[in-house]
Structure formats: structure tokens, C-alpha cells
Amino acid sequence: MTDPASYRPAPGTIPTQPGVYRFRDPHGRVVYVGKAKSLRARLANYFQDPAQLHPRTRAMVTTAASVEWTVVRNEVEALILEHTWIKQYDPRFNVVFRDDKSYPYLAVTLNEKFPRMQVMRGERKKGVRYFGPYAKAWAIRATVDTLLTALPMRTCAPGVFRKAERQGRPCLLGYIDKCAAPCVGRINPEDHRDLADRVCQVLAGDAKPLVRDLTETMHAAAEREDFEAAARARDRLRALDNVMARNAIVLDAGVDTDVFSLEDDELEAAAHVFHVRDGRIAGERGWVVDKPEPLGPAGMVVRLLEEAYGAADAEEIPPEVLVPHLPDDHAVLTEWLSGLRGAKVTMRVPARGKKAELASTGHGNAVQVLEQHRLKRASDLTTRSAALQELQEALSLSEAPLRIECYDISHTQGTNQVGSMVVFEDAIARKPEYRQFSIADAVDDTAAMHEVLSRRFRRYLEESQLPPEERETARFAYPPQLVVVDGGLPQVNAARRTLDEVGVPEIAVVGLAKRLEEVWVPGDDFPVILPRGSEALYLLQRVRDEAHRFAIKHHRAKRTKAMKVSELDQVPGVGPGRAKALLTHFGSLARLKEASVEQIALVPGVGEGTARTVYQAVRGQAGMLDP
């Protein structure tokens, strides 16, 4: 715990312009990011009497050890930079919205030569057009199935597409006219991209041009008595009507808006949005959030809009945004959104009419989201705090172990040795901070653990001396309060010696033995026995099991790769270098088995003679040796 007065900047040194500021802990890690219209006035609020601060603000300033700022030209730039830094640093004292579930999107991969329509979840990818999100994946698939009758664009996976290309035959969808079959050249790339653009137009809510074209095609075919073509156009029109009918009409035709709702209290909040396009609900989404920083409803709206639109494309932002509370700086927000959209965006609170009714429905959804979240995590915050407190008391630590790292070793009879490092912060797994270690020649698990810990903490000592801006991207710059190793007293004593040798004696070490789940402390002849069912023991078990799972995953990948290389080593004329080059070029042994002699000969270092030998060998292994 630090004294804010020890790092308070001199008042005259803080500029009065707009800007963004960062608080860092003693290790240089960013713990809070904020923006201000006047940096001097805003930062002064943090350095008043700590007793007058909000408890969560007081916790932040006593965790931090320094503050820095960046001056920008206006409030819009401050808003953009603040959002960028929050995403980049993931500060523990900032509000961060999380989807209350993994919502599926309908995506069109416009970044491919032949765009593909598919269901996607998770992080967004550049060059992909997203529609939704939708509440149910099956509803998207039903929409896709119907839409393909009218607009038969590609939906197959890359592997299926490549197989059809090689065989010269389309998949089933190509035979039943639900795919234009670009894999076999039935449609050229330009026409297929035009088909993808039409799909995007329909999914965005504008089906009128396509309806008009199909209607004209149907009538023209009927007039020349081409009744089969007229029937196909009619069926496509019906399919298009079915797709549009799936989306409920809630507002007048032509209305595009996003309707946000918020259910907020002191410690937690939930938010919901309806995406309305052409008067129809095109998608919805919900978030839940813990509130480590004290924000009122208006402040939460600012964070919500940053989350919703921070990574959005221009076409995803509607001309109107409806919010439950109008922030004080709503003019800055609308200017920012207008810049992202490339056209004017308005923001207001709906007072009456259909939009107010829709906002009320959205608020009901937000209430449900928060209630479900609380049911799942009714005691989660309490139990996490209790687990850390129990560990601190049981292990006689000077502070609660807010960052715990656990290490494990995995191998097969001493071969393909790997080490794993998993990280838990505030008793929650931080998977982006997991690390893997390849171990060359360790005689046993103790020697392997010595190598892993030495490498990790030597890197920490090196990176802790870097300037703050370089330390932000370093992989090992932050130390744990507690290191956990899998094993009993010999393993934990060896780990303690390693940390002392490296020069980090202040980091605590314990071992967790599997047989009786005993907690061993270095130098003690008897283990610490944590009560069965205690939150502290459960936390250590989760950390240990996660390290074991992560180590096995890495080991299996390494062993599989080694087995594939060794399989190619049996081929005459192919050594480890050529085997590695072949696997790197084709990606897998299965892909290599599908390649032709000419394709294999394109690999650097592999001539035509060796390529033919490899071709015959791998085809023979696959049961397809040529006569």
C-alpha cells in the first residue's frame, strides 16, 4: 500500500488541457485509465484527503505508485485514446463490460477471394462483415438455409472448398442449387462477390432492390413462357419474404436505431441493446459488469457506448442512438460516433411512443441479465475474497496473493519435456498471461522445474528494469505474490532454492501434493493442512489442475509434431531439415498426403526426385501407393 502524497505531481506541472491519464503500480503495470477535460482539475480530485475519497477510488490510489498523462487536442481524441488504452492494458480498476453469454453472429467473410457466410462467435476479425448478434444459433442457421434459396453464396469450410476444387465436383449444396459452386468455376470471383454484397444488403435490412429485381425476372420469364425460370424466381421471392419475416417489426419502415438499456447499482450493472434496422429487430446483445470504479448511470452509458462501438465498422453505426441517460458530454460522444460513421449521428432519451416502449422492453431484458448473473455469482466475489484471505493467513503472507502463478512439467519418459505457467489474478484465470516453456535436456522433474523458474524470473529481473512504455509489452515484467508448484517438500524446497539463486527471495513458494492435497512450505517438516472444502484449498486445486491441463496440452502438441517429423525421417533422402520444411509448407501430414509430385517439388530444398520418393512413400502410408 502506497501513500498517494509520495507520487503526487506538483500542481503547477499538470497541464489544464484535455488529456488521458494512467495510474501505474510499483511494477509499472497500468491499474487505471481515465480522461479529463482539464487534466489539472481532474487529477487534483485523486490527491485530496484519502478519507474523503470513495472506497474504490481510495483502493486505486493506494495501489498505484505513479501517474502520467498525455495531452490531446480535444475531448473526442481523449475519448478515443481512453478507450484504446482500456482495451490495451485491461486495468483492474476500470469498468470492463463482458458479454453475459457468447452471442453468435452471422458473418460474411469479405476478406476472402470467394466470401463465405457462416455463424461466428468471439472476437471480430478484420475484413469480415457481421450481422446480429442473435440470441440463438439455430435461428441463424434457419435464416441461412432459407436465404440460400434466394442467394446461393458459399457457406462451406476452407477444407471442403479445397477438396471440391481438387476433385472437380461440388458438395451437396451445389447440386441442390443452394450454392453457386465457385469451387468448380460455375461462377467467377466478381459475380460471387456481387452475390455476397447482395446478401449483406438483405441482412442489413434492405431487401427492396433484390425483391424488385426478382419480381421483374419472374414477370419477364412468364411473358416469354419460360415457366421454370419464373418458378425459380418465385421460390426465391418466397424465401426472401420468409427471411425478412423472421425479424419482428417494432418501428416504422426505414427506421435504423440502436436502443440501449441499463440496470445499474452500486457494485454491478447489466446492459442490453436492440439493433433495429428498417424497423425490424436485426439483433440484440447483453453485457454484465463489475464496477471497480464508482460511476453513475450517465458515466456507465459512456462506457457502454465505447464498448458497443469502439471496434465497429461504419455501416454498423445507425443514424440514431437511444440511451437511458444522456451523459454530460453527449456532444463529444455524438461527434465521435459521427466520425466513425462518416455521417451525422444523433443521441437522445426516448420519452414516449414505440421507441420508449422498446426501451422499456430492453430494460426488462437488462434486469433479467443482471438477475441471472447474480444467481450464478451470488457468492463469487465473497468466496474469492475469502479464498485469498484464507491463503494469506494459512501461509503467513504479508499480503493477500492477488497474483498467483503455478508451474507444472509434462513429458513422456523424459522426452518432449515442456513446462507450463498459468496465472490467476484476484482468483480468476488470466489466460492471455499463460506461458509455455520447451525444455531441452533435464534429467528429472526437479531439474526441469529449476530451468523453467530460472528462465521466468531472470526475464522478470531484466524486464523490470525496462522503461515503463517498453515494460507494457514485456512478457514477464510482473511478479506474483505466490508461486505454486506441483509436489511435496523436495519440489518446493528446490523451487525455493531456485528463486533465491535468481534473486527474488521476497516471492513466496508453496507446493501442493496430489495424494492428500497437503500444502508444503519451504523448510517446514510438516505440511499446512487446509480444511477440506475450504475456499483456499479449492483455489489452489484449481490453479494446480489448470497448470497440469495446460502442460499436457503443450506436451501433446510437441509430441505429435515430433512423431510426424520422425515418420517422414523414414523416407529415403529426407532428413530432419527436409521433414520440417515439408510439414511447415503443407501444415500437416494429411495435407502432404493429398499433394501432387509437382506441389511437393515446390518446397524449398526438395527436388523432383525427392518429391517423387516422398509422394510414393506417404501415399503408401495412406494405403494409396501407385502401381
- What is the pLDDT confidence band of residue 624, given thresholds at 50, 70 and 90? very low
CATH number at residue 587: 1.10.150.20
pLDDT at 100: 57
Indicate if the pLDDT at residue 623 is higher than 50: no
What does DSSP assign to residue 120?
A: E
- State how far the Cα of 110 lies from the Cα of 129, in Å rounded to an integer: 7
Are 411 and 468 in a shared domain?
Answer: yes
Indicate if the pLDDT at residue 546 is higher than 60: yes
The grid coordinates of residue 355 equal 421507441
Are 413 and 356 in a shared domain?
Answer: no
**CA R_g for the chain:** 30
Residue type, position 462, single letter: E
* Omega before 432 within 30 of 0, i.e. cis: no
Which of 325, 354, 376 finishes a domain?
Answer: 376
Residue type, position 588, single letter: S
pLDDT at 19: 93
The grid coordinates of residue 429 equal 484465470
Are 363 and 453 in a shared domain?
Answer: no
- What is the pLDDT confidence band of residue 570, given thresholds at 50, 70 and 90? low
- What is the pLDDT confidence band of residue 627, given thresholds at 50, 70 and 90? very low
Indicate if the pLDDT at residue 256 is higher than 80: yes
The grid coordinates of residue 308 equal 458497443
- The answer to whether position 543 is within a domain reads yes
Which of 73, 94, 115 finishes a domain?
Answer: 94
Are 369 and 486 in a shared domain?
Answer: no
pLDDT in tens, 165-197: 888 888 888 888 889 999 998 999 999 998 898
The DSSP-derived string for 187-214 is: S-HHHHHHHHHHHHHHHTT--HHHHHHH
Are 298 and 416 in a shared domain?
Answer: no
Name the more confident of 455 and 56. Answer: 455
Name the more confident of 207 and 567. Answer: 207
pLDDT at 467: 82
pLDDT at 412: 54
pLDDT at 515: 62
pLDDT at 476: 83
Q: Provide the domain limits for residue 27.
A: 4-94
Are 448 and 506 in a shared domain?
Answer: yes
pLDDT at 416: 61
Q: pTM of the predicted model, to two decimals?
A: 0.57
- The answer to whether position 627 is within a domain reads no
The DSSP-derived string for 29-75 is: -EEEEEEESSHHHHHHGGGS-GGGS-HHHHHHHHH--EEEEEE-SSH
Name the more confident of 389 and 562. Answer: 389
Are 583 and 526 in a shared domain?
Answer: no
Name the more confident of 374 and 461. Answer: 461
Q: How many domains does the chain have?
A: 4
- The answer to whether position 156 is within a domain reads no
| Residue 528 · residue 395 · CB < 8 Å | yes
- State how far the Cα of 134 lies from the Cα of 616, in Å rounded to an integer: 49
Are 574 and 472 in a shared domain?
Answer: no
The continuous run of DSSP H or E covering 518 comes out as strand 518-520
Residue 330: Cβ-neighbour burial (10 angstroms; 0-12, 13-18, 19+): buried
- State how far the Cα of 357 lies from the Cα of 250, in Å rounded to an integer: 10
Are 34 and 54 in a shared domain?
Answer: yes
- The answer to whether position 526 is within a domain reads yes
- The answer to whether position 592 is within a domain reads yes
Percent of the chain beyond pLDDT 70? 85
Q: State the CB neighbour count (10 A cutoff) for residue 66.
A: 15
Query: Where do runs of H (alpha helix) occur along 100-182?
Result: 137-150, 158-167, 172-175
- The answer to whether position 138 is within a domain reads no
Residues 6+ apart with CB under 8 A from 524: 489
- What is the pLDDT confidence band of residue 345, given thresholds at 50, 70 and 90? very high
Per-residue pLDDT, averaged over 268-293, amounts to 81
- What is the pLDDT confidence band of residue 115, given thresholds at 50, 70 and 90? very high
Range among 287-296, 329-338, 473-482 rated most confident: 329-338
pLDDT at 626: 36
- What is the pLDDT confidence band of residue 114, given thresholds at 50, 70 and 90? very high
Lowest mean pLDDT among 115-129, 151-165, 554-568: 554-568
pLDDT in tens, 205-235: 666 777 777 788 788 888 888 888 788 778 7
Indicate if the pLDDT at residue 562 is higher than 80: no
What does DSSP assign to residue 12?
A: G
- State how far the Cα of 266 lies from the Cα of 307, in Å rounded to an integer: 20
- What is the pLDDT confidence band of residue 608, given thresholds at 50, 70 and 90? confident
- State how far the Cα of 255 lies from the Cα of 251, in Å rounded to an integer: 7
pLDDT in tens, 483-531: 999 888 888 998 999 999 999 999 999 998 766 778 889 988 888 888 7
pLDDT at 200: 84
Q: What is the mean pLDDT of the chain?
A: 82
- What is the pLDDT confidence band of residue 533, given thresholds at 50, 70 and 90? low
Indicate if the pLDDT at residue 36 is higher than 80: yes
pLDDT at 335: 92
Are 371 and 400 in a shared domain?
Answer: no
Nearest to 411, CA basis, from 252, 593, 548 = 548
Any idea what the Cα angle at residue 560 is, between residues 430 and 551, rounded to 5°? 30
Name the more confident of 591 and 132. Answer: 591
Are 450 and 536 in a shared domain?
Answer: yes
| Helix (H), strand (E), coil (C) string for 522-534 | CCCCCCECCCCCC
Instruction: With both helix axes pointing from N to C terminus, report the angle between 227-245 and 189-203 in degrees, rounded to the nearest 10.
Output: 40
pLDDT at 625: 33
- The answer to whether position 514 is within a domain reads yes
Lowest mean pLDDT among 286-290, 349-353, 430-434: 286-290
Q: How far apart are the first and last CA of the chain?
A: 77
Per-residue pLDDT, averaged over 101-129, amounts to 80
Per-residue pLDDT, averaged over 55-77, amounts to 89
CATH number at residue 361: 3.30.420
- What is the pLDDT confidence band of residue 204, given thresholds at 50, 70 and 90? confident
Indicate if the pLDDT at residue 332 is higher than 60: yes
Which of 357, 376, 395 finishes a domain?
Answer: 376
pLDDT at 7: 92
- State how far the Cα of 69 lies from the Cα of 32, in Å rounded to an integer: 12
What does DSSP assign to residue 314?
A: G
- State how far the Cα of 225 lies from the Cα of 173, in Å rounded to an integer: 28
- What is the pLDDT confidence band of residue 116, given thresholds at 50, 70 and 90? very high
- The answer to whether position 294 is within a domain reads yes
- State how far the Cα of 530 lies from the Cα of 521, in Å rounded to an integer: 13
- State how far the Cα of 218 lies from the Cα of 440, in Å rounded to an integer: 70
Are 372 and 391 in a shared domain?
Answer: no
CATH number at residue 513: 3.30.420.340
Indicate if the pLDDT at residue 602 is higher than 50: yes
The DSSP-derived string for 212-260 is: HHHHHHHHHHHHTT-HHHHHHHHHHHHHHHHHHHTSPB-S-TT--EEEE
Residue type, position 523, single letter: G
Residue 259 phi/psi, 5-degree rounding, is -110, 110
pLDDT at 248: 53
Lowest mean pLDDT among 250-254, 322-326, 619-623: 619-623
DSSP count for the chain of H helices, then E strands: 21, 19
Nearest to 264, CA basis, from 157, 373, 351 = 373
The grid coordinates of residue 212 equal 424488385
